[in-house]
Structure 1
Amino acid sequence: MAAWSTSTASSWCLWGLSDGLEDQLYACLANRRWAHAVVSQQPFVNVTRFLAVAVEAMNTLTDQEWLEAMKAHPRIGERGGGAPDSSVREQSHAMQSPPATLEALDAENRRYEDKFGHVFLIAASGRSGDEILAELRRRMSNDPATEFTEAKRELRKITLLRLEKIRFP
């Protein structure tokens, strides 16, 4: 995993990210063009610049690229093969919910996918299953364009949270 190091009191340098950085970034947001665009801007003089480059590259993604990244994301509550470790950690609090809540999340997730054509996305870290379920139900009343905007916003939040973990292994 990568790490940030101070070379002087006022200057930061990134080390240990060159090898495999593109794969680490892809694990944060499943879009190779985005990951390559971020990698191509190295070296990063500080954490702020690294995150700014990542956001700038996100701003260039097309709706189709966002949709593909959404489709690569596991469902809330999904365990096993398709769920990366980061998703399992982010959803750990919600997954401690009672079985009835988890069953409702599963059913509502499927209704959501039928309506909007992609998985329900929410920055789940620290949220209970009931909180996520309430938000899922609220967003079911959105029209497709509004919901796509909300889903992109949530995927940005998830991505930024994951990027911050790259700097702090």
Structure 2
Amino acid sequence: MLLEEFNSSTREAALGVAKPALDIPRWYEAIIAGRPYASVDALTEAAMRVAAPLTEAELDAALAHHPRIGERAHGDSAEAAHARSEQAGVHASAAEALAEGNRAYEAKFDRVYLVRAAGRSADDILALLQERLGNTPEQELVVIDQQLREIAALRLSGAIETEGARA
């Protein structure tokens, strides 16, 4: 969808673009209400700030849509397709280390380890996991909030084309 189409589309059409990026009503309603956006950059900036910070309940609800890092997302939902694409750089050779790290993270924080995987190697993701295991639960909530908003901004901007991209 072009930015101009997103800006002028019905609420339902805009919802179809925004909701798969981050299924938190307060976030996607703010994104939709903020239209029109002057540029994809303005939309991306809004995606990062409109619901910051997310509440702990919102974080938990959003995490329910994210597979464990290193595990292939199943299903044909937009969220599953996003997760498969974002984790494309995570190779099977790192699977055991990621599985072990996931277990340690979940034991400590009682949540799925979430990281913006797009653009990161398996080694980067593992290093971040080890670093984050040193966080307190309160510190980790701040990190999860940031990671979710980064993922949402990437997903949303990825769903919006610029006029030149379609030509």
Classify the TM-score, shorter chain: 0.7 to 0.9
Matched, 1:65 2:58: yes
Point out the structure with max Rg over C-alpha.
Answer: 1
**RMSD (Å) for aligned C-alpha atoms:** 2.6
Q: Give TM-score scaled by structure 2 length.
A: 0.80
Corresponding letter in the other structure for 2:2:
A
Matched, 1:34 2:27: yes
User: As a proportion of its length, which structure holds more strand?
Assistant: 1
Q: Distance in 2 between matches of 1:143 and 1:103?
A: 25
Change (3 A) 1:16 1:129: same
Matched, 1:92 2:92: no
Is the Cα–Cα contact under 8 Å of residues 97 and 129 in structure 1 kept in the other structure?
Answer: no
Percent of aligned pairs sharing the same letter: 32
Query: 5+ residue gaps in structure 1?
Result: 7-12
In the TM superposition, 1:3-152 aligns within 5 A as 3-5=2-4, 14-15=7-8, 18-59=11-52, 61-81=54-74, 84-94=80-90, 96-98=91-93, 101-152=94-145
Using CA pairs under 8 Å that are at least 6 residues apart, name the structure with larger relative contact order, 1 or 2.
2
Report deviation, 1:122.
Answer: 1.1
Change (3 A) 1:84 1:4: same
Change (3 A) 1:26 1:44: same
User: As a proportion of its length, which structure holds more helix?
Assistant: 2
Q: Distance in 2 between matches of 1:55 and 1:138?
A: 23
Q: Distance in 1 between matches of 2:85 and 2:10?
A: 22
Corresponding letter in the other structure for 1:36:
E
Corresponding letter in the other structure for 1:3:
L
